[in-house]
Chains A and B, each alone.
Chain A
Amino acid sequence: MNGIPSSHILVLSLILFSVGLAGVLIRRNIIIMLMGIELMLNAANINFVAFSRQLGDLAGQVFAVFTIVVAAGEVAVGLAILIALFSNKDTINIDQINIMKG
């Protein structure tokens, strides 16, 4: 319709996913890690929308809506955990949350 091949949209989503993944794996600040997760979720959403557009089925967009809902909930809970973690450990450096080591 727009002359944009679905594969390009998928590539975009892939790049965004990778960047988010890299952020999750590399950064030690928990807040930045959570942001990386948000990027990954967005990438997934783009994927859904791309296929919804290609297949003409709105299910993809509906799913993307739900994804956003879940992401919102997840951020809320995740940041709450972070706050709790911080009040216990006094740090947001994920390298120092290593009680499970060994």
Chain B
Amino acid sequence: MGGYLHLIPLAPAAGFLINGLIGRKLSKRLVGLVACGAVLLSFVLSVAAVMELAGMPAEHRVLETRAATWIPFMDAGGGAPSLALDWVFVLDPLSAVMVLIVTGVGFLIHVYSIGYMHEEPGYWRYFTYLNLFMAMMLTLVLGGSLPVMFVGWEGVGLCSYLLIGYYYWKTDCADAGRKAFITNRIGDLAFVIGALVLFAHFGTLEFGPLLAGATSGGASTALLTTVGICLFIGACGKSAQVPLYVWLPDAMAGPTPVSALIHAATMVTAGVYMVCRLAPMYAMAPVALTLIAVVGAATALFAATIGIAQNDIKKVLAYSTVSQLGYMFLAAGVGAYSAAIFHLMTHAFFKALLFLGSGAVIHALHHEQDMMKMGGLKKKLPVTYAVFLCGWVAIAGMPPTSGFFSKDEILWKSYLWSPVIWAVAAATALITAFYMTRLMGLTFWGKSRMDHHTEAHVHEVPGVMKWPLVVLAVLSLVGGFLNVPASLGGGERLHHWLEPAFSAKTYAAGEVHHEEAADPHAAGAAGHAGSAATEYGLMALAVVLGAGMLLFGWNLYNKHPERAAAWRGRFAGVHNVLKNKYWVDELYDAVLIQPFYQLCRIAAWLDVKVVDGAVNAVRNVTVGTSYFSVFWDTWIVDGLVNLVGRVFMGSSSVLRRVQTGLTQSYASAMVLGVFVMICIYMYVS
């Protein structure tokens, strides 16, 4: 059963290979077809798998595929592997939701890209990277163990880098890609440390056994808290929470569909997914969850405030994404995991819609991204305007859009946990409504501020870009009905579907008496602590305030646009701070980057002076000793040889005198010899 899960990431991987190897030679049409076809195949397989999953009874909803052994760790004795790292893919309710979102939205964005990237250089390269991204993201969500998930985690980071720096010849794009990768890496370090601690303690990193061990008291709270915080830091890097969010606004330098897919709908949600995946473990570490909630809330508010003062349309949406991700983490931190996933889903719909819509605007205005140079596009881009309206009301949380249901769920659950946190979240919601309205106002309403040349060439999107927008718009509007809360008479279908994935019961091996009801941290524990009245009240408050903000903004930008400029002047100081994003990047540069460069300079100095110096010193020593060698060779070695020669010459010049050439001297010598012999003979005998 479920032996085909590995095919889901493999389809886009195949697309990556085909386009990567021969895409350059293929026609644009074929490249797009291969890429979109691969993702469509993944989507179909995912639907089939989820349907199979749905057919199973709720307590045992797990499909597992063990594709191959990755690292067989051997016993010290060389026997059978004591444990093995497998390519294991798991489909449970949580990953089912994720995989449908990823493949569905991914497919829509692929189709959109065919139109958007048509005139861009390196068309095949774009789709190659995009397919690789899909493969990696699917590995991440379908991964059945932390290492497999980590492969996907790293892979999407790589693709993010590749796609942000898609226009690699532009310095700011390349720099943004690098910034993303490095910031991610810092988070990844913490992730790996957490994973290794878990491995050291439990001996396995597969989610089933791991969560079973964690929930059955296999590790101390301190350990789980530490691990939880480490993994969350990794999630901060990937999902752009404070303090590792700085890469996301810069990442807007990449093509707009990339921003939509990676930096809104899928990759940045990986952190949220990871926390929710390990929910039973986090349930054992309330301190970590508190940290997550606080960081999430703070990020949400912080990013929203920056979003007010940005002029680049994509930057506004980027900060909005950071803020909404903060919401998701807030939800996870208060224990409302299904709310987090619900918001993840709705956010994927409307944020992707907003990004693709902004892409349409940018495309229409010939790559103009400054909202100050837009305006009055309502009439010129009707379809785009229509879909933008859908996204606008969804993100502002107006009923009955999907955004309303998901955001409201989060607000309610955070109120139950702590009213302070609720206040922060509510404030963020108001600010969100405001800046989105500002975006609408500057872009579509009011008078046109475009220059005449651009204005003349404004054109609506082609069909291939239109249909994904429409689909996403529809989803943004009706997607919320998946999880209407009980208080409004809904069936909370998504919540019930996801429940087993977050419950320790699913993982406990036979220890049934652990209920999540005993978790004091979870919101709504010990029965619904909050009354229905409070819920309705808060809901109404949020809607009214939100609607009020929308109307206020509508009025401001439609009727009295000059007031906005006046307020900018009046609150110039605050506006300046927000516009400069609290100078966080500059702070990081001064505190971290420059000292690091200084360190690099020192290292370079060391290398030149010390290392090279040592090498040169060796050289000098060698040269110096070579003089000695020369001396030795010339005077002693050669000297010996010469000495031998001279000895022979000297002795020969002496002995040569024997050869007088005179017969008589030879005769004398003979006589002398005879004489000696006679003497010997005489005295011996």
Direct contact of A and B (CB under 8 A): yes
Point out residues on A near B: beta carbons under 8 Å.
21, 24-26, 28, 33, 94-95, 97-102
B432-465 residues at the A interface, CB under 8 angstroms: none
Q: Are B656's CB and A102's CB within 8 A?
A: yes
B664: Cβ under 8 A from any A Cβ: yes
For the side of the interface on B, what is the size category?
10 to 19
With A21-B671, A101-B660 given, name 9 new contacts (CB 8 A).
Answer: A25-B667, A33-B663, A97-B661, A98-B660, A98-B661, A99-B661, A100-B659, A100-B661, A101-B661
Bound together, the chains give a CA A94 to CA B661 distance in angstroms of: 10
Report A-chain residues with C-beta under 8 Å of the C-beta of B668.
25
8 closest A-B pairs by beta carbon, nearest first, are: A101-B661, A98-B661, A100-B661, A94-B663, A25-B664, A25-B668, A98-B662, A102-B659
Most buried by A among B656, B659, B663, B668: B663
Bound together, the chains give a CA A97 to CA B45 distance in angstroms of: 120
- Expressed in whole angstroms, the minimum distance between the Cβ of B548 and any Cβ of chain A is 131
Closest to A30 in B: B663
Hey, what's the 0/1 contact readout for B40-70 against A, CB within 8 Å counting as 1? 0000000000000000000000000000000
Report B-chain residues with C-beta under 8 Å of the C-beta of A95.
662, 664
Q: Are B664's CB and A24's CB within 8 A?
A: yes
Q: Are A94's CB and B656's CB within 8 A?
A: no
11 examples of A-B residue contacts, CB within 8 angstroms: A25-B664, A25-B667, A25-B668, A28-B664, A94-B664, A95-B662, A95-B664, A97-B661, A97-B663, A101-B662, A102-B661
B637-665 residues at the A interface, CB under 8 angstroms: 656, 659-664
Bound together, the chains give a CA A25 to CA B667 distance in angstroms of: 7
Bound together, the chains give a CA A101 to CA B656 distance in angstroms of: 8
Report A-chain residues with C-beta under 8 Å of the C-beta of B671.
21, 25
Report A-chain residues with C-beta under 8 Å of the C-beta of B664.
24-26, 28, 33, 94-95
Q: Given the interface contacts A21-B671, A25-B667, A25-B668, does A94 sit within 8 Å of B659 by beta carbon?
A: no
Bound together, the chains give a CA A24 to CA B671 distance in angstroms of: 11
Report B-chain residues with C-beta under 8 Å of the C-beta of A94.
662-664
Hey, what's the 0/1 contact readout for B155-177 against A, CB within 8 Å counting as 1? 00000000000000000000000
- Expressed in whole angstroms, the minimum distance between the Cβ of A88 and any Cβ of chain B is 15
Report A-chain residues with C-beta under 8 Å of the C-beta of B660.
98, 101
Bound together, the chains give a CA A26 to CA B664 distance in angstroms of: 7
Report B-chain residues with C-beta under 8 Å of the C-beta of A98.
660-662
Report A-chain residues with C-beta under 8 Å of the C-beta of B661.
97-102
Most buried by A among B656, B661, B671: B661
Bound together, the chains give a CA A33 to CA B667 distance in angstroms of: 11
Report B-chain residues with C-beta under 8 Å of the C-beta of A21.
671
Report B-chain residues with C-beta under 8 Å of the C-beta of A101.
659-662
Bound together, the chains give a CA A97 to CA B664 distance in angstroms of: 11
Bound together, the chains give a CA A100 to CA B667 distance in angstroms of: 14
Closest to A94 in B: B663
Bound together, the chains give a CA A28 to CA B664 distance in angstroms of: 8
Closest to B659 in A: A102
Closest to B668 in A: A25
- Expressed in whole angstroms, the minimum distance between the Cβ of B655 and any Cβ of chain A is 11
- Expressed in whole angstroms, the minimum distance between the Cβ of B649 and any Cβ of chain A is 14
Bound together, the chains give a CA A97 to CA B656 distance in angstroms of: 17
- Expressed in whole angstroms, the minimum distance between the Cβ of B161 and any Cβ of chain A is 91
Report B-chain residues with C-beta under 8 Å of the C-beta of A100.
659, 661
Report A-chain residues with C-beta under 8 Å of the C-beta of B656.
102
